[in-house]
Amino acid sequence: MLTVNIQALSSEDKATAWVLPFTAVGISDISLVGGKNASLGEMIRALAAQGVRVPNGFATTAHAYRTFIRQANLEAPLRELFRTLDTENVKQLRSVGRRARALILATPFPAELETAIASAYADLCQQYGSDLDCAVRSSATAEDLLDASFAGQQETFLNVYGTEAIIEACHKCFASIFTDRAISYRQIKGFDHLNVALSVGVQKMVRSDLACSGVMFSIDTETGFKNAVLVTGAYGLGENVVQGTVNPDEYFVFKPTLKQGFSPILGKRLGSKEIKLVYDLGGTKPLKNIPVSEEERERYCLEDAEVLELARWACLIEDHYSSQRGLYTPMDIEWAKDGTTGELFIVQARPETVQSQKQTNLLRTYVLEARSTVRITGRAVGNLIGQGRARVILDVHHLDQFQAGEVLVTNKTDPDWEPIMKRASAIVTNQGGRTCHAAIIARELGIPAVVGCGQATTTLHPGQDITVSCAEGEEGRVYAGLLPFRIEEVTLEALPETRTQILMNVGNPDEAFGLAAIPCSGVGLARLEFIITNQIQVHPLALLHFDQVEDEAARQQITRLTRAYSQKIDYFIEQLSHGIGMIAAAFHPHPVIVRLSDFKTNEYANLLGGKGFEPEEENPMIGWRGASRYYDPRYRDAFGLECRALRLVRETMGLTNVIPMVPFCRTPEEGRRVLAEMASHGLVRGENGLQVYVMCELPSNVICADQFAEVFDGFSIGSNDLTQLTLGLDRDSAQVAHLFDERNDAVKRMVTLAIETAHRCGRKIGICGQAPSDYPEFARFLVSLGIDSISLNPDTVLKTTLEVAAMEAQLRT
């Protein structure tokens, strides 16, 4: 029976069957076997030939459930139970749910249903082996819709084996259609409790208790960026990841170049993975949680090749469902690795129901207007800000203490918590990652959540006023007090076309996916210093020559940061490539100009382990910085790490839209030496479309622009340094800071000469300094000169685009 094809059964046969094998159902059968089971059948039928592995199984039908309810005359007493239900009253909800489940469990299954389940289980055992261990999962007929996931509302039972145990688990699943959380969720979504039927899926277990498992999304869960797959994983069975019991590993993969055959892992984050859920062999329960060894915790649970295979499957699944539905359908997918065979499997797939439903022409930004003491940090969920009094609840039995508008602070959540989660202003948890239950429900409810904080329930005090900010990048922060914030909304109507390219300055890779929603033509300035300072934190020479680092505190911090890497330099290369890759992917295929590192010596010295490798300079501003370091024997090897990271981004990730830019290049000869150094690491100008730009920030860059044009492919004016060096002042000096003004005639003459010379030499030239963001008249001046591009801070892109369009129109008349 388990090999029956979807075409082999008539629709009438399927509608009256007690049990159907997964091979006999597809996505059109949600009304028969629920979303979860229909999806499993669909993937087995349509995607197995493309290499997507899904464990086989069978499903009880909606007909079986409705026949059970009808023959037992349960509809009338159940309707009476729900008639006056107020789901806001937690005590009443619990009472109604308990009595409804008791009615189901006290009523035996029809003999025909038990026989059908037993027969289907026997067939499954024949395929995989006797007394097969199975996952028994509930699948409601209203489940996995585009606007309501119903995920986790009913029960799941793992490591169930033997005919009697399988039937008993199916009976418990029937009863779980009336869990408190399921009742509350249906009422919120407007579904009639008795119109929703329950199917049960019985599926071969994947022995991920001996390996790892997790969840992945074919869309970025926080920003809705469509071109990335987010994979999360931890050791053991997947319930810990889904429920947020552990902080999992996270990986980002870029879909467009993955489909072209590249290996674009954009980012990796090591989770703590403290425990794992395994079989309780010889014990009294089917499952138990055990500690994970320190050695396992300090390494990723998946190899890079496995991450890429899962991401490819996510693309196949998303493409198939989008084709079936006739509209873009990002997917929420559960995966598992079998520790006995080493194979990966997909065990569930459902449409993502939050980002895919958002209004795409409205850009809403939350901005914190003041800051206070940061009480605790974790993973940001939601790009939102919420605030209220902290309500610390450690046990589900105390949910009735929660008051509407409070911030829920707890260890973790599961579906039993949903009746109060919908009344919270924000959620803060000790455990969990971006795909845990608390994160998924917070997104669906439109409230911020900070998950995986570690000690939130002891650090935050009951009744304390707090502000929960998820609007400052990947890190979520909980501040003391009720801080002022504002919400900015911009409608992204069709912006006018401009001859002048409007680019964006992007510093933080964590913000790149969100910033990509702002219409622009690419990135005019991505600074490596931000990535090195915030994500790497270590001086590159301290990684190359760790034995020479004398500061013991720095040695300990470097050891901790590089713990997952066999060689310390791999930490620098991978982290830098991930930072560059996130920005490049966010704006792909538009150009992303990446300025090579431009720390001054005092800034380099502040990096971990840096003091022993940096000289002291009287004036670092015009000292050993930029290009002069790259070919210097004292720093050449460190620059080589930057080159290797860039090559990885372009060649391994396939992000050839990256254009490296050399800063503070004093002479054309110095530029040639830098290009030679880059070429020695495989970055050859002109090969694989590689262009190299130079910053135009020194008077020599302007005066000898024709000579620099022979060395480089383009220029980007750095108006800050050009103004300082043209006027001979340090804008950080209070005594002369008032003289700093990009609009000074001397500076404007330098800019004019640079643009005219670059164009005469056939080179592109743009500007990435602050001036056009601050001064509309300076932007107009640049447009009048015919500058090729203006790169702006994100908050001024839309406004300046409109101004530039108006300026260009005036200049044409």
Neighbours of 445 (CB within 10 A): 17
What is the rounded CA–CA span in Å between residue 424 and residue 62?
35
Q: Are 337 and 208 in contact (CB under 8 A)?
A: yes
Strand-pairing partners, residue 351, are 331
What is the rounded CA–CA span in Å between residue 603 and residue 196?
63
Angle of helix 745-760 relative to helix 719-727, nearest 10 degrees, comes to 120
What is the rounded CA–CA span in Å between residue 177 and residue 673?
70
Neighbours of 98 (CB within 10 A): 12
Q: Are 644 and 638 in contact (CB under 8 A)?
A: no
Amino acid letter, residue 280: D
What is the rounded CA–CA span in Å between residue 116 and residue 128?
19
Cα dihedral: 781, 785, 787, 793 (round 10): 0
Q: Residue for token digits 């860039």? A: 646
Q: Find the catalytic residue in 63, 320, 437, 578.
A: 437
Active site residue 437: yes
Q: Residue for token digits 């044009």? A: 709
Amino acid letter, residue 658: V
Residue in 230, 30, 239 with CA at minimum distance from that of residue 150:
30
What is the rounded CA–CA span in Å between residue 667 and residue 55?
64
What is the rounded CA–CA span in Å between residue 791 and residue 522?
9
End-to-end CA separation in angstroms for the chain: 77
Neighbours of 548 (CB within 10 A): 11
Q: Residue for token digits 């009443």? A: 92
Strand-pairing partners, residue 384, are none
What is the rounded CA–CA span in Å between residue 150 and residue 108?
26
What is the rounded CA–CA span in Å between residue 511 and residue 505?
12
Q: Residue for token digits 């469902």? A: 321
Provide DSSP, 9-34: S-HHHHHH-SEEEGGG--GGGHHHHH
Q: Are 685 and 713 in contact (CB under 8 A)?
A: yes
Residue 148 main-chain phi, psi, to 5 deg? -160, 115
Write out the H or E segment, with its range, that includes residue 604: helix 601-605
Token pair for 346: 């997909």
CA distances from 228 to 157, 214, 255, 344, 512 (A): 32, 17, 6, 20, 12
Q: Are 117 and 192 in contact (CB under 8 A)?
A: no
Q: Residue for token digits 């790149």? A: 512
Residue in 458, 452, 459 with CA at minimum distance from that of residue 480:
459
CA 199 to chain centre: 32
Q: Is 762 left (phi over 0), alpha (psi -120 to 50) or beta?
A: left
Helix/strand number for the chain, H first, E second: 31, 30
What is the rounded CA–CA span in Å between residue 654 and residue 715?
24
Q: Find the catalytic residue in 212, 301, 665, 768.
A: 768
Residues in Cβ contact with 655 at an 8 Å cutoff, skipping those fewer than 6 apart: 254, 257, 264, 580, 581, 584, 585, 588, 592, 649
Neighbours of 773 (CB within 10 A): 20
What is the rounded CA–CA span in Å between residue 687 and residue 651?
11
Q: Which residues are catalytic?
A: 437, 768
